[in-house]
Structure 1
Amino acid sequence: MAHRPTGRNKWLPRPPSAAAAGRVFCIPYSGSGASMYRQWPREQDGVEFLPVELPGRETRFAEPVPQTYQELAAAMIPALEPYLDVPFAFFGHCSSALAAYEVSAELIRTGLPAPARLYVSSQVAPQDGPAGRFLTMDDAGFAAELEQLVTEQGGTPNPDLIELYVEVLRADVDTYRRYVMPDPYPLSCPITVVGWTEDDIIPYDTMGGWPKCGETTSVLLEGRHHRLMEAPQELLRLLTTGLGAR
């Protein structure tokens, strides 16, 4: 078992529980921080959900956004390694599905503990991207998207914060745009692909390339692209499967 460090871990807004039967590391998507998972429970059936805080947002706003998902994975792993002592999985939605894929691949390549499963939501396979309307948006489009998301979540858009997060979103989309992977690394862990019936950003029928990345199961859930933020019970049940859930 890896030594557990003392003190604050800047990648994890809250410390993992020593009593957890399993863990799901939840990576925020473009332009968002760990707080996008604020409606999620801390745990379900003994499996804890751990939002990951990425450089360049929220508590780490002053840090530069990584230029590639491979760079992000290499930086993330040392911080998470002490907590890979129980069955664990990564969950990523939209662009963060690719970050979750890359950190899973890096763990497997380097012989570190491998995920029990990778969960990718609303994203095409690495060899099929990049895709989606964000690639053609200007800053005004990014601002409108962020304002709509804040409003849908019951908040009131703050112009100053929107301006700051447009910069984060632009940097994230640039990272996504640079990600070209014609021959993806095949994972030894299984992959669950999650699509949404009303997703007009990454439609479910565009996500069929994931079997090239490993053994794949596909699931279609009800809802729009951002429904995951509401912590739908069918998604939470799916994520706890195979992770020692009681």
Structure 2
Amino acid sequence: MTSGPTTATASPWFVRPPSAEAAARLFCFPFSGSGASAFSAWPAALDDVEVCPVQFPGRENRLAHPHYGTYDNLAADLTEALSPLLERPYAFFGHCAGALPAYETVLRLTALGLPAPECLFVSGQPAPHDASRDRMLTMTEDELRAEVEAFIRGRGIEPRPDMVELGLMVLLRDHAAAGAYRRQEPAPLPCPVVVLHWRDDPDVSLDGLQGWRAYADSVEFRVLDGGHHDFMDAPDELLKTLTRRW
């Protein structure tokens, strides 16, 4: 897709202003402790669908911005940022805990009478009413620090102490929001849901994702090759799955 005029002035919520020439948009929500750079290896467009990574406050280039605090706050602020960009078909992709504010944002948008997404893609994340079962929510700070170190090494980088401490700070704040999130009963969505399970994910099983069946009339499950963070490398199987619904 060639570059062209944009629909709005630059917003801190997006690493690049969405293009006015895109036929459709895929808004991508990062996992806890990460930011829009989780999608840096993804192409800028998939066929005619523009990839729009969402940048939450309190990380990366928004490190100085106050943390959102709760998923309710995040969804409310995102609704305001997204509302001018829903004039064409769009979908949401949320990986791990990023799927939860994506879900809450769909509910908020449609409650306001704004267009619903064509699809909500959720990757490696149990349904909202099962979210409190996440093993990482029970980890100590030292255990989370070890997780940050392992993640950085897994991306082929030797973790420096300052890098680890910065990553831990973001992760602790995000985990506080995740730990405070509660949805006792499913609130159904007005759009299809596609649930993605990573075959080699050690923490999230296919059975653990079945709770999403209660969240839409159309819920599809797809099993992809790879581990929990392999979505970051934009594997062809994932990208084909994301464009097949459009």
TM-score (norm 1): 0.93
Q: Which amino acid aligns with 1:9?
A: S
Equivalent residue for 1:66? Answer: 68
2:106–2:189: 8 Å Cα contact kept in structure 1? yes
Instruction: Give the percent of matched residue pairs that are identical in Structure 1 and Structure 2.
Output: 45
- SS, match of residue 130 in structure 1: helix
User: Which whole-Å CA distance do the structure 2 matches of 1:130 and 1:227 have between them?
Assistant: 23
Deviations 1:176-213 (A, max 9, x none): 11111111221111100011111112222101011211
Partner of 2:79: 77
Tell me the residue number matched to 1:33: 35
Match of 1:217 in 2: 220
User: Which of the numbers 17, 20, 43 marks the counterpart of 2:19?
Assistant: 17
Q: Distance in 2 between matches of 1:39 and 1:222?
A: 18
Question: By how many angstroms is 1:83 displaced?
Answer: 1.6
Counterpart in 2 of 1:238?
A: 241
Q: State yes or no: 1:208 paired with 2:215.
A: no
> How many residues in Structure 1 have an aligned counterpart in Structure 2?
240
Task: State the Cα distance separating 1:129 from its structure 2 match.
Answer: 2.4
Q: State the SS of the aligned residue for 1:220.
A: strand
Is the 8 Å Cα contact of residues 13 and 53 (structure 1) preserved in structure 2?
yes
Which of 99, 114, 117 matches 1:115? Answer: 117
SS in structure 2 opposite 1:129? helix
Task: Note if contact 1:131-1:202 (Cα within 8 Å) is conserved in structure 2.
Answer: no
The answer on whether the counterparts of 1:57 and 1:168 sit within 8 Å (CA) in structure 2 is yes
Task: Structure 2 unaligned segments of length 5 or more: list them.
Answer: 1-5
**What per-residue deviation string (whole Å, max 9, x for no partner) do you get for residues 71-123 of structure 1?**
10110122122221211011111101111101111111111111110000111
Higher mean C-alpha deviation, range 126-135 or range 34-43 = 126-135
What residue identity is the alignment partner of 2:17?
A: P
Q: Given the alignment of the two structures, is residue 228 of structure 1 paired with residue 203 of structure 2, yes or no? A: no
How far off its partner does 1:69 sit?
Answer: 1.2
- 1:63 positional shift: 2.0
The secondary structure found in structure 2 opposite 1:105 is helix
Q: SS at 1:208's partner residue?
A: helix
1:5 aligns with 2:8: yes
Distance in 1, Cα, partners of 2:103 & 2:206: 18
- Counterpart CA distance in 2 for 1:29 and 1:194 is 14
Letter paired with 1:221: L
Whole-Å Cα distance in 1 between the matches of residues 185 and 135 of structure 2? 24
Q: CA deviation at 1:64?
A: 2.4
CA contact (8 A) 1:26 1:50 kept: yes
Q: In 1, are the aligned partners of 2:7 and 2:17 still within 8 Å (CA)?
A: no
1:123 maps to a residue whose letter is Q
Residue segments in structure 1 that go unaligned for 5+ positions in a row: none
Which whole-Å deviations, capped at 9, do the CAs of 1:208-235 have from their partners, x for residues lacking one? Answer: 0112111211111111111101101111
* Counterpart-to-counterpart distance in 2, 1:78 and 1:178: 23
Partner of 1:163: 165
- Mapped to 2, the partners of 1:225 and 1:55 lie a distance apart of 24
Structure 1: how far apart are the matches of 2:131 and 2:86?
Answer: 30
